[in-house]
Amino acid sequence: MPESLPVTHFRRVQSTLACDGVPLSAIASQAGTPVYVYSAEAIRGAYRRLDAALQGAPHAIHYALKANSSLAVLRLLRALGSGADANSVGEIDVALRAGFAPADIVFSGVGKTGDELERAVALGVKVINAESPGELDRIDAVARACGVRARVAIRVNPDIDPHSHRHISTGLRESQFGVPIELVRPLFRDVAGRAGLTPVGVHAHIGSQIMSLDPLGRTASALARLARELRDDGIRLEHVDLGGGLGIAYEQAPAPTAEEYAAAVVPAIRDLGVTLLIEPGRVLVGPAGVLVARVVDVKAGPHGKRFVVLDSGMTELLRPALYAAYHRVEPVAPRPGLSAPCDYVGPLCESSDVVGRDRLASPLEVGDLVAVFDAGAYGSTMASTYNRRPLAPEVLVDDGDWRLVRRRQTIADLVALEV
Ligand SMILES: Cc1ncc(COP(=O)(O)O)c(C=O)c1O
């Protein structure tokens, strides 16, 4: 198989789905369901492919913690040389616990509080991606009060449509993110004169689950043009940060490869004399995880369709309810028989609690296991405890073995905060 094609780490071994050779049924019988299962090798493979594809330019990969911030996943990525992209002080603290140094952490986010800015400045993170002139004022004030200069980038809103779901399109003028591109150059001139600020980069993140490379290429060109203009103004940047956004193949349509992504963005940046920084999340961990759930009921629906009720739904995996997102669902050990239409639904009294609508599935019975694919990103991190449902455990498969990397939350954990 050519190096550029994604390798699947979830394959059938004698008809039973396994993660890198470890049967999902064996994990579920010990860890219970629902349970998240991640392949360490899949994460390593995705990171190495992206890193290798970007060799044509000095680059730094800062993994976006929001996609999956389990300590085990973070330690794995750190060991490969990744930096971190944090979107809250909570993510900064988790990154530090995972062993990232402050200088490995970029701090993004549209609504950073005063406390968060104080912590980021005091730690001396690699860069704070500022979202507005007002935020630059606040960073400047915090830094001067600490007697330091904060390293800042300005998040640019390039008004580029990523052609993704509108809830995850963040580079359009009407969205709340960043500074309109035509205002950025004068803002940098102002920043360069501030005692508390050192301008080091420009940043953009136009959206997530991007399947067409043209918007990413145009963003790279827009930021490169800006970096050149700033150089003419005497402001030499260290890096151009393109954010994350690369999509994955949730449905069968092929996603852009790491090599195609690099070909779309590297040429614009390569000769600028700056580092290309990126903040990928989904592409590194999404395909590396499945959510394993158990069938708790099967009942007849309209027009010959079955409702397959799972012990897992929008509390564990919010994406289908939030964005009508598609996740492939397959029985772990299919029973013989004809496939028939079904809706895989969750256990909550919410009509949006549907894991997969209008699917075809082989016969399923109460107690059977199903795997929900591509659940490694924005799965566990978006989970909630709605209906007092404890958070699902997480398992990492590595080197032919598996281990629990987060235990299942208990009701005692849930009420422990209440006074
Ligand atoms: C600022 C920022 N950087 C990086 C990412 C990661 O994006 P993705 O998971 O699509 O690569 C996000 C996600 O929305 C983000 O908001």
Could you give the CA distance from residue 305 to residue 358 in angstroms, rounded to a whole number? 8
Pull the structure tokens for residue 53.
Answer: 């594809």
Q: How far is CA 256 from CA 6, 76, 155, 246, 264, in A?
A: 10, 24, 25, 8, 10
- The pLDDT score that the predictor gives to residue 7 is 60
Phi and psi (nearest 5°) for 32? Answer: 80, 180
pLDDT, one tens digit per residue, over 52-98 is 999 999 999 999 999 999 999 999 999 999 999 999 999 999 999 99
Residue nearest to atom 12 of ligand 1 (CA): 244
Query: Residue 174: what pLDDT?
Result: 83
For ligand 1, atom 5, the nearest C-alpha belongs to 244
Of ligand 1's listed atoms, the one at least distance from the Cα of 279 is: 4
Give the distance from CA 366 to its chain's centroid.
33
> What is the distance in A from the centroid of ligand 1 to the CA of 204?
10
What pLDDT is attached to residue 172? 83
Contact 402, 372 (CB under 8 A): no
**Ligand 1 pocket residue status of 162, Cβ below 6 Å:** no
CA distances from residue 13 to 22, 260, 405 in whole angstroms, order as listed: 9, 32, 24
Cβ contact 335:406 at 8 Å: no
Burial status of residue 250 (CB atoms within 10 A of its CB: 0-12, 13-18, 19 or more): buried
pLDDT digits (tens, 9 = 90+) for 231-251: 999 999 999 999 999 999 999
Q: How far is CA 53 from CA 3, 276, 377, in A?
A: 11, 12, 21
According to the model, what pLDDT value does residue 168 have?
Answer: 75
Catalytic: 349?
yes
pLDDT at 170: 84
- Residue 234's pLDDT is 96
319 Cβ closer than 6 Å to some ligand 1 atom: no
Supply the pTM of this predicted model.
0.96
Q: Which portions of the chain are predicted below pLDDT 70?
A: 1-7
Residue 123 CA to chain centroid, in angstroms? 24
Residue 340 and residue 411: Cα distance in Å, rounded? 37
Q: Output the pLDDT for position 8.
A: 84
The alpha carbon of 238 is separated from its chain's Cα centroid by a whole number of angstroms, namely 25
Distance in angstroms (rounded) separating the CA atoms of residues 277 and 238: 10
